[in-house]
Each structure stands twice: as structure tokens, then as C-alpha cells.
Structure 1
Amino acid sequence: MMDSEFNKEDFLLLVGKRIDYIREQKGFSYERISQGCNIDASDLSKIAKGRVNIMLSSVMEISKGLEIHPKELFDFNLEDLPCK
């Protein structure tokens, strides 16, 4: 069961933080990721900041750019959400 404080904005922010964590671990820039997928570097930055709600096809594209399995983007605990 999910906490009643759980919301979409918090989830988007947490996914974005996960993207940035993986990106930094690999030493990739947004430009480098965009070369491996069909998403512009400026859009990747917005996604990483939790400003854009992405579709599943975007999850696949970001995963290709990061050279990871898509499930790795969701490898976090919901308890880490910055609920208010």
C-alpha cells in the first residue's frame, strides 16, 4: 500500500534523480546520452529535474542512451520520495 502523501511530482523528481545518478556514475553528459537515443539533451535535463512526465517509450530511449536496462531507472525505494 502506498502512502497517502505519495504524488506524481515527487515520483518524477525521484526518477530524475536516478537518471542523474546513473549519468554521473558513467561520466556521461546529457549530450552524450542524447547521441544514443531520440531525446534532445535539453529535454533530458528537464526530465532529470522532474519537470517532464515521460512516456514508457521515453524510458526505453533514456535507457538506451545510458546503456542500461530500463528497470535500473526505477531501482529506488519509495521511502526516498521527498513527500511533504
Structure 2
Amino acid sequence: MKKLYKQEVLTLFGKRIKELRLERNLSYRKMAKECDLGYSKISKIEKGEVEIRFYTILEISIALKVHPKELFDFEHKWKDEAFM
């Protein structure tokens, strides 16, 4: 249960990053350069394929010119049992 739940949140988080990146007309390569990451890593993050560190979240928010909390602005039904 927890593993599926975490994957769902990672996927939604990645979609939010992609949405913000596209709004700013940033390519994978341009954003990767801004974040000091490989462009394939950006792709994997957007697909929810990798977990990322807090430092990387900060780098992404700086590249997108948004507060880090904006990266978490997505709809999701939080399930209490996931936190037990």
C-alpha cells in the first residue's frame, strides 16, 4: 500500500514539475543546465521514476523561479492509512 501510494505522489509531483517547465518554455536541457543535473534525470523526475533529495527540489524551484511549495501544488486525495 505505502509503496503504491508513494509512487502515486511521485508521479503527481513530476507532472507538476513538467507543467511548470512547459509554462516557462524550458527544454529538458535548458532546465537541466539551470539545475546542474543531467537532462535525462529531469525526464525521470517528471515521470515519477526517481526519488529526489530536498536539495534537488530547491534547485528545481530556483530554475523554475517558484517557491518550493509551488512544486507540491497538485490535487491528491491523501490517505490516512498511508501515514500509519
CA distance in 2 between counterparts of 1:67 and 1:41 reads 18
Partner residue in 2 for 1:82: none
CA distance in 2 between counterparts of 1:47 and 1:12 reads 8
**Alpha carbons 1:15, 1:73 under 8 Å: kept:** yes
Partner residue in 2 for 1:54: 52
- TM-score in terms of structure 1 length: 0.81
The one-character-per-residue Cα deviations of 1:28-81 (angstroms, maximum 9, x if unpaired) are 1111111211211110100000000111111001111212111110011213xx
For 1:37, the aligned partner's letter is: C
For 2:54, the aligned partner's letter is: L
Percent identity reads: 41
Q: 2:70 aligns with which of 50, 69, 72?
A: 72
RMSD: 1.8
Partner residue in 1 for 2:61: 63
Deviant stretches of 4+, over 6 Å: none
Q: Give the unaligned 5+ runs of structure 2.
A: 78-84
